[in-house]
Amino acid sequence: MSRPRVSGLFVYTILVFAFLFAPIALVVLFSFNKTAALTFPFHGFSLRWYRAVLNSPLYRDAIVASLRVAVITVVVVVVVGTLAGIGVTRYDFRGRGIVRLFLLFPGALPGLFVGIALLSFFVQTKVTLSLWTVTVGHFVYVLPYFFLVVTSRLQRFDYVLEEAARDLGAGPWATLRRVTLPLIAPSLIAGALVVFSLSWDEVFITFFTIGAQNTLPLVIYSTVKQSVDPSVNAISTLLLAGSLVFVLSVRRLVVDLQQ
């Protein structure tokens, strides 16, 4: 059966990808620029920015700090958010709507607002500002988005499978572990990646809740005050490469699960 529309959709999708990757391609290109220019004309190839980044304690520390915060945020959010999502979609209890709204509302607040609110909380509870307070801030900020992903997936969840498991004698937690979680895992992974990228780029909450440290987006954002140079491109390219490796290994997991 002929499908003339395939070629149209295919071309369209290719164009979409081209559009998505155009800025990224330029980021990678300029990471190799000989001068500090971030715009055309391109002055020739050089690895100086990679050397600068890998030799710079400022960038290294900032990357490490960002990674720590992002990884911990993701892990905690995935666990806590999935549990909360299951609780809210599977069980009908009084106040469910309010709980749902309560877990979603921080996502609709400006980052600056959340940052200042959290800072006043930490000041009043006399908690020293550090990367841990930043992590709390990121957690509060990204939870609504992960929660949205989990609940929307669970709302389409076919409970027949859970019922089948229970009919076969599995208790609720076993059902959770063996049936529910593997089936919603792709959405959880997608949500985790979204949350990671949100935490990775977060600037405003971080600024207010951080102590005498720096995260990568803070450094990048503050270098704009003086002068951005392709060091930031080099970092981005390095991290892109790192995330490629990471997503590749996760992808295999997704493929396995879908089988």
Please answer whether residues 219 and 62 qualify as being in contact, where contact means their C-beta atoms are separated by less than 8 angstroms.
yes
Minimum CB separation of residue 51 from another protein in Å reads 16
Please answer whether residues 204 and 141 qualify as being in contact, where contact means their C-beta atoms are separated by less than 8 angstroms.
no
Please answer whether residues 95 and 87 qualify as being in contact, where contact means their C-beta atoms are separated by less than 8 angstroms.
no
**Where in 41-70 is the site for another protein (CB under 8 A)?**
41, 43, 57-58, 60-65, 67-68
* Interatomic CA distance for residues 215 and 113, integer angstroms: 19
- Looking at beta carbons only, is 32 or 233 nearer to another protein? 233
**Where in 116-145 is the site for another protein (CB under 8 A)?**
116-123, 128-131, 136-137, 139-140, 143, 145
188-212: buried (b, 16+ CB within 10 Å) or exposed (e) per residue?
A: bbebbebbbebbbebbbbbbbbbee
2 binds another protein (CB under 8 A): no
User: Largest Cα–Cα distance of the chain, in whole Å?
Assistant: 70
Angle CA 160–165–166, to nearest 5: 95
- Looking at beta carbons only, is 50 or 216 nearer to another protein? 216
Minimum CB separation of residue 52 from another protein in Å reads 12
- Looking at beta carbons only, is 50 or 210 nearer to another protein? 210
Among 9, 48, 52, 55, binds another protein (CB under 8 A): 9
**Where in 164-223 is the site for another protein (CB under 8 A)?**
164-165, 168, 170, 172, 177-179, 181-182, 185-187, 190, 193-194, 197, 200-201, 203-204, 207-214, 216-223
